[in-house]
Copies of this chain bind each other. A is one copy, B any other.
Amino acid sequence: MTSFDAPAHGFPSSEFEGRVARAQEIMRRYEFDALLLTTSHNIRYFTGFDSQFWESPTRPWFVVVPAEGKPMAVIPEIGAPEMERTWIDDVRSWPAPQPADDGTSLLTAALAQLPRRFGRVGAELGREMSLRMPVMQFLELRDKLPGLELDNGSPCIWEVRRVKTEGEIARIRFICGIASQAYENLPNLVSQGDSVRDACRRLTIDILNRGADAVPFLPGIAGFDGPNQIVCGPQDKDLEEGDILFIDTGSTYDGYFCDFDRNYAVGKVSDEARRANAAVWDATEAGLAVARPGATVEDVWRAQSEVIEAAGSLGNNVGRMGHGLGLQLTEPPSNMPGDITMLEPGVVLTIEPGMEFAPGHMIVHEENVLITEDGCELLTLRAPRDFWTID
């Protein structure tokens, strides 16, 4: 069995220097004097700050990436000791919570002193991002910065994060590898009559024992001849002969996600489901064959879609056939009609064909790949063409 070595946690300063240099180049093109960041993923990307404390919605946190030099942090006191241990030097903090002024004055002062060339700051205002601060506070901040426009920085930020570094790839490769092995091991841990919830708990624990840091996403759904949806679970339902068990996981290592699923036949399943499953596997092959530099993600969608259509797909409520992946479970681009993002080496992508093969019965497959110089490399251990079986 392949063995996967865990990279050490945390990145050297040179990693962050490289990310900031890349961001500053791209920011100039977007005509931003700075980026204003409020969310865990973007703050971690530029500072290395790693915390689960984002679960608490009480206090806003801010990081500013200027056009030149290192980022600065404007954060609640509770986070200052650890932020000061990152590679950044300028950490300003206030005693939070402080309802009357939870960082607004401190952040206003920090933004006001930035050198201005374009008069624009890119904030997390656009697609596939939500600002992690009260909108009322954002509107107040905007009013306090005459001559400095807080504009939509999301396309710029996503562009910075799109191409992964070697260090990022090593982490995604590790989490994909150990999750693949755990999936393969699941039939040894689960039997007919066990609940889907118990199956998911055992898989979660197996993934943790193989070295994952966290398993924030692991829905499991079983249904006779396939589930009717893939986003809500685990269910309390017991596994019964003829069910297909679908499990998806976004597990993480050092902040980086895998995102792929597997399907299990519980005892004997119908020939129709088996044929549909093989067709979706073939669609994955078609996607893998075209995922390379120079192709668009629309091309990757089309290759998969043609196979699914030929197999008699009734549709797909997922809305796309794969997406980017990294510090978040899903990132742009989307493998779908109209997304003409060009693939390039270093992009990590999911290949995710799915179809409703009979009313209320879905089959969805997923693998994770790295775009290389001349094609793509599987980061997951390829699923077999036929189901794994739970006896």
A130-B97 contact in complex given A82-B231, A231-B51, C-beta closer than 8 Å: no
A76 contacts across to B, CB distance below 8 A: 319
A134 contacts across to B, CB distance below 8 A: 125-130, 154
> Is A29's CB within 8 Å of the partner chain B?
no
A329-B56 contact in complex given A135-B125, A319-B96, C-beta closer than 8 Å: yes
A99 to B319, CA, bound (A): 11
In the A-B complex, the 6 residue pairs with the closest CB atoms:
A53-B231, A81-B229, A82-B232, A56-B330, A125-B135, A77-B317
> Is A188's CB within 8 Å of the partner chain B?
no
* Contact residues of A: prevailing secondary structure: loop
> Which residues in A have some Cβ–Cβ distance to B below 8 Å?
8-9, 49-53, 55-59, 76-82, 95-99, 102, 123-136, 138, 152, 154, 201, 204-205, 208-209, 214, 216-219, 228-232, 236, 250, 317-320, 323, 328-330, 332, 334, 336, 338
Shortest Cβ distance from A152 into B: residue: B136
B77 adjacent to A319 (CB under 8 Å)? yes
A97 to B330, CA, bound (A): 12
B57 adjacent to A130 (CB under 8 Å)? yes
A55 adjacent to B217 (CB under 8 Å)? yes
Could you tell me the distance in whole angstroms from the C-beta of A233 to the nearest C-beta in chain B?
8
A99 adjacent to B127 (CB under 8 Å)? yes
Q: A208 is contacted by which of B82, B131, B204, B318 (Cβ under 8 Å)?
A: B204
Besides A58-B323, A77-B319, A97-B334, 5 other A-B contacts (C-beta < 8 A): A9-B236, A52-B231, A78-B318, A79-B231, A123-B135
B330 adjacent to A229 (CB under 8 Å)? no
A129-B219 contact in complex given A96-B319, A135-B138, A334-B97, C-beta closer than 8 Å: no
B126 adjacent to A136 (CB under 8 Å)? yes
User: Assembly of this chain: how many copies?
Assistant: 2
A204 contacts across to B, CB distance below 8 A: 208
A208 contacts across to B, CB distance below 8 A: 201, 204-205
B136 adjacent to A97 (CB under 8 Å)? no
Shortest Cβ distance from A124 into B: residue: B135
B219 adjacent to A250 (CB under 8 Å)? no
Could you tell me the distance in whole angstroms from the C-beta of A18 to the nearest C-beta in chain B?
23
A52 to B247, CA, bound (A): 12
A231 contacts across to B, CB distance below 8 A: 51-53, 78-79, 82
A59 contacts across to B, CB distance below 8 A: 319
A78 contacts across to B, CB distance below 8 A: 229-231, 317-319
A131 adjacent to B131 (CB under 8 Å)? yes
A328-B57 contact in complex given A78-B229, A209-B205, A319-B95, C-beta closer than 8 Å: yes
A102 to B319, CA, bound (A): 12
A211 to B25, CA, bound (A): 49
B334 adjacent to A58 (CB under 8 Å)? yes
Could you tell me the distance in whole angstroms from the C-beta of A81 to the nearest C-beta in chain B?
4
A336 contacts across to B, CB distance below 8 A: 97
A125 contacts across to B, CB distance below 8 A: 134-136
17 residue pairs from A and B, CB less than 8 Å apart? A52-B231, A55-B217, A55-B329, A57-B128, A57-B328, A77-B317, A78-B317, A79-B229, A81-B317, A82-B232, A97-B334, A98-B319, A123-B135, A125-B134, A128-B134, A131-B135, A201-B208
A319 to B79, CA, bound (A): 11
B232 adjacent to A53 (CB under 8 Å)? yes
Of A56, A98, A334, A336, the most chain B CB neighbours within 10 A belong to A56
